[in-house]
Amino acid sequence: MKIVMDEKIPYLADALTAMGHKVVAKPGGEICAADVKDAGALFVRTRTFCNADLLEGSNVRFIGTATIGYDHIDDAYCRSRGIFWTSAPACNAGGVLQYVQSAVYLWCRKCNRSPKELTLGVVGVGAIGSRIASWAQSAGMSVLLNDPPREAAGERGFVSLQQIAAESDIITFHPTLTRDGEFPSYHLAGKNFFDSLQRMPLFINASRGPVADNEALLSAYKNGKIADIVIDVWEGEPDINRELLDVSFIATPHIAGYSAEGKLNATNIVLKKFADYTEYKGKLPLATLPAPSQPTIKAPTEGEALIEIYNPMHDTEPLKNNPQTFEALRNNYKFRREPSAYKIEIS
């Protein structure tokens, strides 16, 4: 089978070739209708929009997106054409958790505050949000959870967005991006939300760019409603708001989930689903990761250890210095290792 794939999905091309397929790898944003016309399957990331413009008249019957988000896939169109598609839920949860951990500890260092005196509000308590909440509780923070879809399904333990805004010292957003339905998340963090903030919190968005109204976010910072901003996802990527970039404490090019473990997870998830779809009977050629070159991390605290493993300031500086290179920084990112790859010794 001819398969077209985003060239930045690691480990995948070799695996598909080993399974006997003909692989065409291209930059995700350059994949076009002519490329997929005679392809049976398509593997993408968020830069390839899988809709009628790309797929009409093609032979594609399987789409695998090696991402958690899937708003770049036109579900209604795919269903109408009998195209099966799948994503990689929770694949990068560990990487986003790592990003938020390091950001929080860096902010605590900057403000000379202890996590144990802070309240963290988590908006969107899915695979990522729940892991962040669990970590925050273990670090001694008070934690507030907001997830209207889960609450509407009968689950307990959630609070309103208004309570999050009133009582949180740090607010981190992790909902799925939805524009319709009972609980749309598009511009969930908008002017009304920012106006209701009471404690000048640290604001974190590592979910999807349009979850936060970037103009309203910038205005809230200027008006003293927000103490600091940590932003990894942006409206209009890669053409991002330069003023918002300049004032943000941490600003990165959509790489919060870009750990080696997360990328491997994503590839293996979509590969397994493709194997099931095609009823592949052989042994799947799944990749593995080697041990890091420095397997032991020694630090005085857990927070300092996590910052040593990954410091998002190292990704902030090149973006602030050269914002026009957003896409290049993202596409050529050197995947970091997650804390689970190391032995941490607290001295």
Q: Is position 208 annotated as part of the catalytic site? A: yes
Residue with token string 């594609």: 60
Q: Which two tokens stand for residue 290?
A: 């080697």
The active-site residue out of 47, 131, 254, 337 is 254
The active-site residue out of 21, 174, 208, 336 is 208
| Helix, strand, coil shares, percent, the chain, to 5 | 40, 15, 40
Which CA distances in Å does 328 have to 82, 206, 237, 324? Answer: 35, 19, 12, 9
CB-CB contact of 97 with 119 (8 Å): no
Helix (H, G, I), strand (E, B) or coil at 291: coil
Question: Could you give the dihedral angle defined by the CA atoms of residues 287, 293, 294 and 295, in that order, rounded to the nearest 10 degrees?
Answer: 30
Determine the Cα–Cα distance for residues 76 and 51; give it in Å rounded to an integer.
9
First to last CA, the chain: 55
Determine the Cα–Cα distance for residues 178 and 28; give it in Å rounded to an integer.
22
The active-site residue out of 7, 215, 237, 302 is 237
Looking at the chain, how many residues does it have? Answer: 347
Which CA distances in Å does 211 have to 178, 223, 233, 235? Answer: 9, 20, 9, 9
Determine the Cα–Cα distance for residues 12 and 127; give it in Å rounded to an integer.
24
DSSP H helical ranges for 181-312: 191-195, 214-222, 242-247, 260-278, 302-309
Determine the Cα–Cα distance for residues 152 and 175; give it in Å rounded to an integer.
15
**Residues assigned a catalytic role:** 208, 237, 254
